[in-house]
């Protein structure tokens, strides 16, 4: 039986991710670890020609990864997590940046069908799986990394993230700071995780606070513009703002600076996107949500389970589930 990436990692005493980087980005690996991996590859006779190993009678052991962007750090982390897992199990990975365009998403699903690919991982703005996509599930499993409802369609799943619990946790954290006027700013209020908004509003209202919401595109300028408009129309400024992503968070900081309000003394700002972008503004943005790498790892493992469901093969238990952790920085922590 041919050696796998996992065999090489165990033989060298390193992680699968390290082996993957030696094969793809050797300059980023310490010399001692690189030598261990290269020796293990030589001793085991490992071949990294995934294309030859991925051919099967009914198609290709390859997975399409459809992400809105590859330049955004959050999606780049997702892509890396997926890559590390798929390579370790001998699957090819075909990644495409869709720019959030629904017509491109459907076009690539059609290509996945014609190529006989094993499965698809997708992050889409669709909040419910389009009915036109249901037919694809007869050919391969689809796993949504985004908050997209698969509507119970067989062979389609959504990555489970406890959004309702997160909404309640964030509300409790900010309420303890004395915040009482909350605003949730997101791309699509009606579609993006209604469980999150429900958990947030319920906890805030039970404590006697107010929780509003407004829509803004995933951009700095639009977030600043929409927050300014919200404040003018409501006649008041929230003392806690939760944004869907870091670009919106930076836009909120811009708006508040223009209003001569101090963060976090006057207003706390917290983002749901756990990416490196959160560390660029001043003050740095606090985040509470899953890391992109973790989403990629857990999502790709679950897709492999779906792909292998009909074969009787199972993967070892993952052990780690999606973790939702607070990284408190200057936008919520007065001590920063």
Any idea what the CATH number is for the domain that residue 16 is in? 1.10.260.40
Domain co-membership, 147 together with 68: yes
pLDDT at position 315: 62
Tokens of residue 172, six digits:
């409790």
- Judge whether 324 lies within some domain: no
Residue 94 has pLDDT above 60, yes or no: yes
CB 203 within 8 A of CB 234: no
DSSP state of 274: B
- Judge whether 220 lies within some domain: yes
Domain co-membership, 168 together with 285: yes
Question: pTM for the complete prediction?
Answer: 0.65
- Judge whether 94 lies within some domain: yes
Domain co-membership, 192 together with 268: yes
* Cα dihedral 198, 244, 151, 298 sign: negative
Poorest-pLDDT segment among 231-235, 271-275, 281-285: 271-275
- Judge whether 326 lies within some domain: no
Q: What is the 3-state secondary structure (H, E, C) of 232-245?
A: HHHCCCCCEEEECC
Domain co-membership, 191 together with 209: yes
Question: Which residues lie below 8 Å from residue 137, measured CB to CB, with a gap of 6+?
Answer: 153, 154, 155, 156
Q: Give the residue numbers spanning the domain of 35.
A: 5-48
Q: Which helix (H) or strand (E) holds 175?
A: helix 163-175
Cα–Cα distance for residue pair 196/299, rounded to 1 Å: 20
Domain co-membership, 173 together with 115: no
> Which residue is associated with the tokens 């670009």?
247
Tokens of residue 17, six digits:
């991710």
- Judge whether 70 lies within some domain: yes
Pairing of strands 210-215, 55-56: unpaired
pLDDT at position 299: 93
pLDDT at position 336: 43
What percentage of the chain carries pLDDT values higher than 90?
Answer: 48
Domain count, the chain: 3
For the chain, what is the largest distance between any 2 Cα atoms, rounded to a whole number of angstroms? 71
Cα–Cα distance for residue pair 265/262, rounded to 1 Å: 6
Domain co-membership, 134 together with 174: no
Domain co-membership, 284 together with 215: yes
Domain co-membership, 27 together with 100: no
- Judge whether 327 lies within some domain: no
- Judge whether 72 lies within some domain: yes
Phi/psi of residue 40, nearest 5 degrees: -65, -40
Domain co-membership, 280 together with 298: no
Separation in Å, CA 95 to CA 88, 103, 240:
17, 16, 37
* Cα dihedral 68, 305, 8, 297 sign: positive
Pairing of strands 55-56, 59-67: antiparallel
Domain co-membership, 285 together with 296: no
Residue 73's CATH number: 3.40.50.2300
Cα–Cα distance for residue pair 240/97, rounded to 1 Å: 33
Domain co-membership, 299 together with 285: no
Q: pLDDT-based confidence at 209, cuts 50/70/90?
A: very high
Please compute, for residue 296, the number of CA atoms within 13 A of its CA located in the half-sphere on the CB side: 27
- Judge whether 36 lies within some domain: yes
Domain co-membership, 195 together with 280: yes
Cα–Cα distance for residue pair 203/224, rounded to 1 Å: 26
Residue 311 has pLDDT above 90, yes or no: no
């Amino acid at each position: 039986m041919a050696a796998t990436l996992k065999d090489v990692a165990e033989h060298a005493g390193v992680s699968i991710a390290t082996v993957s980087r030696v094969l793809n980005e050797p300059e980023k690996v310490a010399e001692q670890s690189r030598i261990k991996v290269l020796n293990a590859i030589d001793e085991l006779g490992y071949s990294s020609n995934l294309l030859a190993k991925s051919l099967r009678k009914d198609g290709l052991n390859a997975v399409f990864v459809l992400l809105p962007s590859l330049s955004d750090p959050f999606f780049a982390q997702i892509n890396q997590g997926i890559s590390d897992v798929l390579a370790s199990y001998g699957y090819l990975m075909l990644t495409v940046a869709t720019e959030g365009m629904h017509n491109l998403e459907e076009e690539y699903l059609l290509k996945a069908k014609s190529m006989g690919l094993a499965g698809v991982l997708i992050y889409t703005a669709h909040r419910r799986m389009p009915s036109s996509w249901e037919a694809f599930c007869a050919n391969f499993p689809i796993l949504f990394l985004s908050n997209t409802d698969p509507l119970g369609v067989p062979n389609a799943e959504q990555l489970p993230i406890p959004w309702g619990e997160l909404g309640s946790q964030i509300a409790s954290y900010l309420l303890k700071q004395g915040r009482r006027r909350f605003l949730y700013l997101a791309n699509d209020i009606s579609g993006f995780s209604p469980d999150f908004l429900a958990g947030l509003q319920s906890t805030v209202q039970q404590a006697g606070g107010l929780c509003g919401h407004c829509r803004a595109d995933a951009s700095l300028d639009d977030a600043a513009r929409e927050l300014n408009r919200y404040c003018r129309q409501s006649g008041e400024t929230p003392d806690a703002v939760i944004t869907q992503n870091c670009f919106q968070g930076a836009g909120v900081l811009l708006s508040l600076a223009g209003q001569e309000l101090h963060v976090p003394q006057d207003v706390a700002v917290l983002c749901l996107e756990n990416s490196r972008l959160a560390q660029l503004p001043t003050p740095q943005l606090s985040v509470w949500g899953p890391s992109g790498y973790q989403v990629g790892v857990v999502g790709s493992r679950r897709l492999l389970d779906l792909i292998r469901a009909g074969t009787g093969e199972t993967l070892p238990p993952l052990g780690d589930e999606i973790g939702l952790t607070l990284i408190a920085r200057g936008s919520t922590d007065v001590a920063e």
